[in-house]
Homo-oligomer: A and B are copies of this chain.
Amino acid sequence: MSPSTAIQTFRAIDVIRKKRDSIELSQAEIEYFIDAYTRGEIPDYQVSAWLMAVLLRGMTRAETAALTDAMLHSGEVLDLSGLPARKVDKHSTGGVGDKTSLVLAPLVAAAGVAVPMISGRGLGHTGGTLDKLESIPGFNVNLPVAEFRRVLESCGCAMIGQTAEIAPADRKLYALRDVTGTVESPYLICASIMSKKLAEGIDALVLDVKTGSGAFMKNENDAAFLAELMVETGERMGKRVLALITDMDQPLGNMIGNALEVVEVVDVLRGGGPQDLRELCLELAAWMLHLGGASKTVAEGRRRSAELIASGKALEKFRQMIELQAGDPRVNDDLKRLPQAQKITDVLSPKAGYLASIQCEQIGTACVILGGGRERKEDSVDPSVGIVLHKKVGDRIAKAESIASIHYNSEPRAERARQLIVESCAIADTPPTAKRLLIHKIIGRSAESN
């Protein structure tokens, strides 16, 4: 149905009433509603009532797919069919210390699978890929679409921020959800994520859905529900989609803070880095390679990824991408070229024992307090500050041993961060009973055949 026909046929009030009364909306009704809202023909106050009805009544899978599709087509959908390689992306629901995107884009591109990655900024306690990239001197995340395509063609990966042309309905809806208590609906979260990702013109998508104290979804069942919803929505729209439910009960890796996270990314690409981060990157890369047709099995994808790191090809790809996006590629060899905080101080353990748990969201908040994140969209970010954890959950710890180092530029901020870190680390006499698995569950049809 063309938009002009739809406008004559439907009324916003009927779409609201139907959703209120749990009557399934047709694809045409949802298309009309999103299209007319994007064009300013339906006022915010009608849409916010509808959003609340969606939050409280839910949506069917068909409605969720229709909403995603309508939001996707509210703006430009990149046509990357000119690129011979398959296009695969990864999306994470966000957490603390999650820098996998920076590892995955060059690693997967090195295997011949194209990665056209459009990312976001950090907000609240979670970090953002764009902020991390911008800690690399000169790195430009604001490329026009034509330039994005050129970088992608040259080196197989490119990483930019959302442009005004991509899914404008999502931007408008997100701003409204933020002030009307309608952020938390899994259906709306799914449509928001999937519409933006599918606008990249990709063939397949790997979703990293975080769960735990540092994640948006604190509860594993909620995370699994969202994951299944996104997988089914993507599959209904003809894409290969797979989701991993992964742990965010403690920060991923050891470093939190923009430039510090780039350091850890280079460590991983050099074949080192902390075990949990490295493991998750290999697992996600393996699935991206598999869905991108570069490996017959996931096991083969895992081997291939490890080889590309060992051979230095992944790091070389990272250098290429930095250079093509106007960044200083020398950071790869000389990490001191990244912004450095003026001072470093240690957070000492008040007693001996085992690190029993970390309130992960608090660690993210401590980084924001240091200046490494933003509480409001308008805030600027200090790329140099952050936290380096020396202990992870389950580790033994001596009295007055350093739990973490704080990289800071302001004494009072460092003191507040220290207090938060101390409060968020529980030290017990005995080790925690069971260490949580990094990867909880894999969801998607492709998972079953592997």
Contact = CB atoms under 8 A, between A and B. Distances in A.
Interface stretch (A45-53, A142-150, A290-298): A45-53
Contact of A45 (B16, B20, B47): B47
B56 A180 contact: no
Interface string A2-26: 0000000000110011001000000
Provide the main secondary structure of the chain A interface: helix
A20 B179 contact: no
B47 A181 contact: no
A50 B43 CA distance: 16
B45 A180 contact: yes
A20 B52 contact: yes
B46 A49 contact: no
Nearest to A20: B181
Number of copies: 2
A227 to B, nearest CB: 23
Given A20-B55, A56-B20, A56-B57, A49 B13 contact: no
Interface residues on A, range: 20 to 34
Interface in A29-60: 43-53, 55-57
A344 interface: no
A174 to B, nearest CB: 13
A176 interface: yes
A16 B181 contact: yes
A55 B45 CA distance: 15
A126 interface: no
Contact of A44 (B16, B44, B57): B44
A182 interface: yes
Nearest to A53: B52
A6 B124 CA distance: 27
A49 B181 contact: yes
A83 B287 CA distance: 82
Contacts of A17: 181
A13 B178 CA distance: 9
A161 to B, nearest CB: 26
A55 B47 CA distance: 16
A57 B46 CA distance: 18
Given A176-B45, A179-B46, A181-B20, A53 B51 contact: no
A50 B53 CA distance: 10
11 contacts: A16-B180, A17-B181, A20-B55, A20-B181, A45-B45, A45-B48, A45-B179, A46-B48, A49-B49, A50-B52, A53-B56
Interface of A: 12-13, 16-17, 20, 43-53, 55-57, 176, 179-182
The 6 closest A-B pairs by CB, nearest first: A49-B180, A44-B45, A16-B181, A52-B52, A48-B49, A45-B48
Given A16-B52, A46-B179, A49-B52, 17 more contacts: A12-B179, A13-B181, A16-B180, A16-B181, A20-B56, A20-B181, A43-B45, A44-B44, A45-B47, A46-B48, A46-B180, A48-B48, A49-B49, A49-B181, A52-B53, A52-B56, A56-B57
